[in-house]
Amino acid sequence: MPGGQRHAPKPGQPRKPRPSQQQTSQQQTSQQQTSQHRPRQATAGGSPEMEGRIADVIGPVIAAAGMDLESVRVSAAGRRRLLRVVVDSDRGVSLDDAAAVSRKLSAALDAAPVMGDFPYTLEVSSPGVDRPLTDPRHWRRAVGRLVQVTAADAGPISGRVLAADTDGVTLDVAGDHRRFGYAALGAGAIQVEFGHPQTELGATGDGH
């Protein structure tokens, strides 16, 4: 017969009840709740919130060493975390400076476990030449360097930094000394020149 044969249940044999729409809905809701409450697997990568907590811990240590905290980045490195801390100062950052502050930061991080349960490697370094000049201290530390920047009233310009203070910067643009307020400048970029080497120093150490 088309559609196959249907067998009626034998006398006395109970019919198997079909699940009602309400029961099916309850089962799906239960499965969704179970999925929502299932703990997520932790990852070794960091988050902005985590990096902010780390900055709160290490910021005072770096300031006490006479340096500025430029950035904090946490990334995954296999089964470990890599914590990159960039510091700078008016006198620069030597290899000895980076090693010394690295030891102090390791002690501070061990005392305030903001790195979580993952083992980590701490890397302390100074900014490279590709660091954008956005703050007055960046421009001050770039005195003598050739930079490229976009000015509000002049467009893209290239000049050498002659002086920088809290209000603005003076550039030598093709022999013309021009003064710019920081509000009129975009992010400056240091131009690599032969005879003006800029090395990035760093120190690494294993966390707990």
pTM over 0.75: no
| Same fold: 48-128+199-206 with 136-190 | no
Q: Please name the residue ranges forming H helices in 141-207.
A: none
User: Which residues sit opposite 80 in a β-bridge?
Assistant: 77
User: What one-letter code names the amino acid at 123?
Assistant: E
Query: Quick one: pLDDT band at residue 7, thresholds 50, 70, 90?
Result: low
3-state secondary structure of 161: strand
Would you list the domain boundaries of the chain?
A: 48-128+199-206, 136-190
How many angstroms separate the CA atoms of 115 and 46, rounded?
9
What would the mean pLDDT of 92-118 be, rounded to a whole number?
92
Least reliable range by pLDDT among 22-31, 39-48, 133-142, 171-180 = 22-31
Q: What is the mean pLDDT of the chain?
A: 81
How many angstroms separate the CA atoms of 61 and 69, rounded?
10
Pairing of strands 176-181, 68-77: unpaired
Q: Tell me how far CA of residue 121 lies from CA of 143, 187, 200, in angstroms.
A: 34, 31, 18
How many angstroms separate the CA atoms of 67 and 90, rounded?
8
Q: Which of the two residues, 43 and 109, has the higher pLDDT score? A: 109
In the block, tokens 């017969």 appear at 1
State the fold for domain 48-128+199-206.
GMP Synthetase; Chain A, domain 3 (3.30.300)
Query: For residue 54, what are the contacts with CB-CB under 8 A and spacing of at least 6?
Result: 72, 74, 83, 109, 114, 115
How many angstroms separate the CA atoms of 59 and 67, rounded?
9
Q: What is the total residue count of the chain? A: 208
For the chain, strand residue ranges (E) read 68-77, 80-88, 120-125, 146-151, 155-164, 168-173, 176-181, 189-190, 202-206
Q: Which pLDDT value is given to residue 36?
A: 43
In the block, tokens 């100062």 appear at 89
3-state secondary structure of 83: strand
Q: Which pLDDT value is given to residue 27?
A: 52
Measured over the CA atoms of residue 126, residue 129, residue 135 and residue 141, the dihedral's sign is: positive
Instruction: Dump pLDDT digits (tens) for 53-99.
Output: 999 999 999 999 999 999 999 999 888 899 999 999 999 999 999 99
CATH code of the domain made up of 136-190: 2.30.30.100
